[in-house]
Amino acid sequence: MQKSVQLPRLRATADQWAGHHAALAARLGRPDAVRLTEEQEALALGIVGRLVTRMAGTLPLATPPGAIWAVWEGAGVPSAALLAPLVLARVEEYRWRRMVRPPVAEPLLALFPGADNDGDSVPVPTSIPAMPVPDSAEHAAMDVAYLALRIADAQRSDAFGMPELLPSELPEPVRRALLLDIAAQDLALANDPSARASAVAAAVEAALKNAVTSDIDIAARDYAVSVDATGNAAELLDNAVTRHDWLGVTAYLAAKYEMPFSVTAASLVGQDEAATSALCAAVGMPRRAIGILLDALAEVPARPCLGVVAAGEPATPGDTSMAEEMALRAAALRHRSDGASA
Partner 1 sequence: MSGGAILGRIDPDGALVAADPALLRLQEHAGGRLGGPLMLPQLARLAALSMRLERDITRSMLAADDMSDISAIVSITPDEQGASLTIRDWRSEPAPVQSPLGDPATGTSVEATEPGAWRWECDQQLRLVLLQPTDGPPPVAGWHGRSVSEIFELEPDSDGRFALLSALADSRSFDGQRVRVILDQGAEPVMMRMDGTALIDASGGFSGFRGWLAPAEAVQTGEPAPALAVSRTADPVFGSLPLSDPRFGRRIDGALRGPLSRIIASAETISGQFEGPIRADYARYAADIAHAGRHLLGLIDDLADLQNIERPGFHAAREPVDLADVARRAVGLLAMKAEEKQIRIDVPDVDEPLPAVGEFRRVLQVLLNLIGNAIRYSPEGSMIWIRGESDGATAAITVADQGQGLTLEQQAVVFEKFERLGRTDTGGSGLGLYIARRLARAMDGDISVDSAPGQGARFTLSMPVQR
Angle, in degrees to the nearest 10, between helices 261-270 and 80-97: 70
- Minimal distance, residue 53 CB to partner 1, in Å: 11
Structural contact between residues 284 and 234, judged by C-beta atoms closer than 8 angstroms:
yes
- Residues of the chain by 3-state class (helix, strand, coil), percent to 5: 60, 0, 35
CA–CA dist 15, 3 (Å, integer): 35
C-alpha distances (whole Å) from 30 to each of 34, 62, 153, 270 are 9, 44, 38, 21
- Minimal distance, residue 283 CB to partner 1, in Å: 21
**Smaller CB distance to partner 1: residue 148 or 263?**
148
- Minimal distance, residue 38 CB to partner 1, in Å: 5
**Smaller CB distance to partner 1: residue 24 or 162?**
162
C-alpha distances (whole Å) from 37 to each of 89, 122, 165, 193, 248 are 14, 46, 20, 40, 28
- Minimal distance, residue 194 CB to partner 1, in Å: 31
**Smaller CB distance to partner 1: residue 77 or 326?**
77
**Smaller CB distance to partner 1: residue 48 or 200?**
48
HSE-CB of 289 using CA atoms within 13 angstroms: 23
**Smaller CB distance to partner 1: residue 40 or 200?**
40
CA–CA dist 56, 65 (Å, integer): 5
Question: 10 Å Cβ neighbour count for 75?
Answer: 13
- Minimal distance, residue 207 CB to partner 1, in Å: 19
Query: Which residues of this chain interact with partner 1, rule CB under 8 A?
Result: 37-39, 41-43, 45-46, 48-49, 70, 73-74, 94, 98-103, 105-112, 115, 117, 119, 122-129, 131, 147-148, 150-151, 153-155, 158-163, 242-245
- Minimal distance, residue 104 CB to partner 1, in Å: 9
Q: Which residues contact 333 (CB under 8 A, 6 or more apart)?
A: 78, 181, 184, 185, 188
- Minimal distance, residue 6 CB to partner 1, in Å: 23
**Smaller CB distance to partner 1: residue 190 or 300?**
300
Maximal CA-CA distance, the chain: 105
**Smaller CB distance to partner 1: residue 46 or 284?**
46
